[in-house]
Amino acid sequence: MGDSSKLVQALKPFCENLRQIVESGKEISIITHLDADGITSGSIMAIALARMNAKCTVRTVSDMSQSVIEMMKSEDHDYYVITDLGGGMAANFRKALGDRWVVIDHHQIPEQEILTDDGGRIMNAWKYGLDGGIEVPAGGMAYMVASNLDRKNRDLSALAVVSAVGDRQDQGNKRSFLGLNQEILNMAKSLGLVSFELDLMLTGRETRPLHEALAYTSFPYIDGLTWNSSNCHTILKNAGLNLKDGGRWRVLSEFSQEEKSVVIDAISKYVVTSSKTSAGVIDDLVGYVYTLESEDRRSQLRDAREFSTLLNACGRIGKSGVGVAICMGDRNAMLTAGEQISTEYRTTLRNYISTIFNEKWRVNDDGKITIVNGDGLVAEDMLGAVSSLLSGSPSLPERLLFVKTLSKDSTYKFSSRKSLGCKSKANLGLIMRHCAEAVGGTGGGHAAAAGCRIPHTSLENFTSKLRAAVNDPGFQAA
């Protein structure tokens, strides 16, 4: 794990610069990504700046393209705080915005950007020796900035925990945290904001009837149970579990440890006797869960993973403002809207996945690389969610997965993941950046999850370069 001391040292001048910007009365625009990490990181900065009486707004975008930079250049905002975006684009920002910007990010950046003196404008995990793919997301980086601006912002550590699970950085043993994420979690725990324990990691553990929570759980995917509420209800009822309290369905968090053992046993028996899924999947069902203690019981915000899913839904469905409002404290109209959006999001995702597997022509699979064609089906803002869900499917194990769709501006957008059991050392972030830039596009990300955007005329050239790059030792993770 990296040493955060270099980061802590760099935060002092970075935060001093932000203080001067606020004190000068400049109008600040926060530009952030539309996923859970983007919404939390943008919200953390908005809260921290608002507490300083800064004039600021928050806007989400699907990616940091040249058209977005040109939009920023044409606007009247005095200063830009860019979160969860902008890795490798310092030169573009300098050209368009001069010195009116800073970046708070965690994506891989070129070595040149790591070594170049940027005037303290880039607060990127990789620049300070931290692995932004597993040790800290943008939400964690934003929290580090906020807590260094003012210690009272340590209460934002709970949002940083949400960002970490939302970015799938629970990569330690039993879905624990690593590095700086663990340090931030410890702070949240010490403040009584977040608790964590080993438990069944079912989707909706605080909100859904137990059989529905099991059915909605797609990581891990259990053939015959995932998305099959009727089968889930049957095996749990046959195990002798009392699924209701009076007339009300019980949620997982209300079951005793003894009852949870019965749940695990029931799932195990089903997997062994009736499912195509490997029995090893049971181990993947148990891991650390993170509970936001200040949120109401049976709220979608109480479980950090469910909170992050709600934020992802808001961003992907085009309602990022709802997610930002929830992060900033709205527990009335915006929370109700967010819960409705989350339901719509899950239905849309389920329909996408069903169509992809039913329309066989959409999947080009050679046993090592899978390219999924989402043209005319998958909305570009949903692409990352679709690739993440497909990466957990037992139908496409041990693959490098690339999902594409034609966007509204006639460019192709790609999202890439390493699927279940993938042992490839390919660094997807480097591959996406290299191949996209080679055909006039932009891209980047992490070793196991990345994306890019390319001109529509370059598709064949891009995919050819992609297939070559995944076998090139020069694009392997260290």
The mean pLDDT value of the chain amounts to: 93
| Least confident among 188-192, 392-396, 429-433 | 392-396
254 and 147 assigned to the same domain: no
Least confident of 112-116, 164-168, 356-360, 399-403: 112-116
Shared-domain flag, residues 87 and 118:
yes
Domain boundary among 329, 354, 379: 354
Q: What does the pLDDT average to over 5-18? A: 94
178 within a domain of the structure (yes/no): no
Residue 18 domain-assigned?
yes
Residues 13 and 107 in one domain: yes
In a domain, 127, yes or no: yes
Q: Do residues 209 and 229 share a domain?
A: yes
Task: Please check whether residues 330 and 313 belong to one and the same domain.
Answer: yes
End position of a domain, from candidates 322, 354, 386:
354
List, for residues 365-404, the tens digit of each pLDDT value.
998 999 999 999 999 999 999 999 899 887 888 999 999 9
Q: Is the pLDDT at 95 greater than 80, yes or no?
A: yes
For residue 97, give the CATH number of its domain: 3.90.1640.30
The pLDDT, as a whole number, for residue 275 is 64
Is residue 41 domain-shared with residue 155, that is, in the same domain? yes
Residues 350 and 364 occupy one common structural domain? no
pLDDT at 100: 96
Q: Identify the pLDDT of residue 276.
A: 67
Q: Which range of residues forms the domain containing residue 142?
A: 5-169
| Pair 147, 33 in one domain | yes
User: Per-residue confidence at 279, pLDDT binned at 50, 70, 90?
Assistant: low
Please check whether residue 175 lies inside any domain of the structure. Answer: no
pLDDT digits (tens, 9 = 90+) for 348-366: 998 999 999 999 999 999 9
Residue 192: inside a domain, yes or no? no
Residue 221 or residue 431, greater confidence: 431
Percent with pLDDT over 70 in the chain: 99
- State whether 449 and 426 are in the same domain: yes
pTM of the model: 0.91
Residue 57 burial (CB < 10 Å; 0-12/13-18/19+)?
Answer: exposed
| Residue at 190 is within a domain | no
Does residue 164 fall inside a structural domain? yes
The total number of structural domains that make up the chain: 3
pLDDT at 147 exceeding the cut of 90: yes
Q: Does residue 182 belong to any structural domain of this protein?
A: no
The pLDDT of residue 238 is: 96
* The pLDDT of residue 21 is above 80: yes
Tokens representing 309? 């899913």
Q: Say whether both 299 and 211 belong to one domain.
A: yes
Is residue 349 domain-shared with residue 244, that is, in the same domain?
yes
Residues 336 and 387 in one domain: no
Boundary (domain end) residue, out of 354, 370, 392: 354
Residue 409 maps to which CATH number?
3.10.310.40
